[in-house]
Structure 1
């Protein structure tokens, strides 16, 4: 099932989408987070409203999570290598390209914008804005100390995230948060696909800038796979329904190019993940 949050006739509605029929069905709750929480508790069975035409509806970011988004750095081998060689990595062990443990940081939920929303380059704050296509995992059933074997039981679904990054702030402050946390630096969408819709461990992940293919990989290439990330993050810390885990980006980001190529005003970044859809945003 495809689940979205839309703006329709002045209201914000969580809906189930049926693109083939051009229809959407309201879920009968106030937010997508409420639907996920109800699903986790066994209280959400099927959309409750009457089908509406998609005409006139505008897609918003599908979900605002209950807290910061968990993000994983350097989780594709080729990207880990390009990052290690870029000169932008802060706090790295000299000569170490592949980490022994996942590198985890967060982005505040205030960064989130939706499909087709413009993204501010924050020209007065940074001059080195980069793009990163990522598969995002949405937790359904919460839990602590979740084993690899049970990890998929705790997943609600998946969406796409652009982990936009100010590389100069990332480098200068010797940590990742300030380079990741600017307003608008987390485009998300276009919707959520539920866990049963795709094999998330074997999907193609791609990104284009102004129509030029920059990133392309398969989630088979993840260094730390989805069950391992859930096991690591939940060790001693309770994951909540609606938590989002952004699993890392493939090679081909702007700092990996020679010379580096950062986003400019007017650039359009389009991202695709097999079985989910496409997410596109213009930078200004």
Structure 2
């Protein structure tokens, strides 16, 4: 009898270990909802994501906000994704629409136990903003970003970005900008994450006298996000961050509000089998 009990205990223990090892990491509960750093995960087939970002920055006694709305759509599969971003600036002196971005992103690498996810993005910057008011350059621009993402443990994930943009023939000058970013995210649970993001921007602008002005802005942004999961495979994520300026060209500090809602727009095989 003791032998039977011992064998049963061993089988139950092995089953528990297999179930535990097969469970998804807590870090996988919220993956594509970063604030300042772009993650490297395209939308799954049949799922669209709507994203509202509302940053409010304070500098030299004034404040400025540039809310953006983004929609991300898979193109037949997770390999290809189309999205657009519409920004609108609210400043103390002027307000208006900024340049709209049309984005294509390729899921070049899917994440594995060893390899990170990699999804390079190419964007057209459409000159919809009023350049005379400082809401764009008045020229078609081209932007590239190279995001990498990796879950490194049950609770930790990291992201890295490197990119740049070019605006040809702005007052007879070609403006070239660069950006770097990185983040570490800790999953307190599958629905609640603590975040630390850092980004830097090297940007050029030119005035009517053809004088080029170069700035370096950098932010360190601690934040948090929470996900609400619904039975129809929809997910609502809300978040808050407090970005802090690190250079003289950066804002002093700010508040960042985030809201994302993703849901199926077609019934896929994955949905039918759930």
Rg bigger for which structure? 2
Q: Which has the higher helix share?
A: 1
Which bin holds the TM-score, normalised by the shorter protein? under 0.3
- TM-score normalised over the length of structure 2: 0.25
Q: TM-score, normalised by structure 1?
A: 0.25
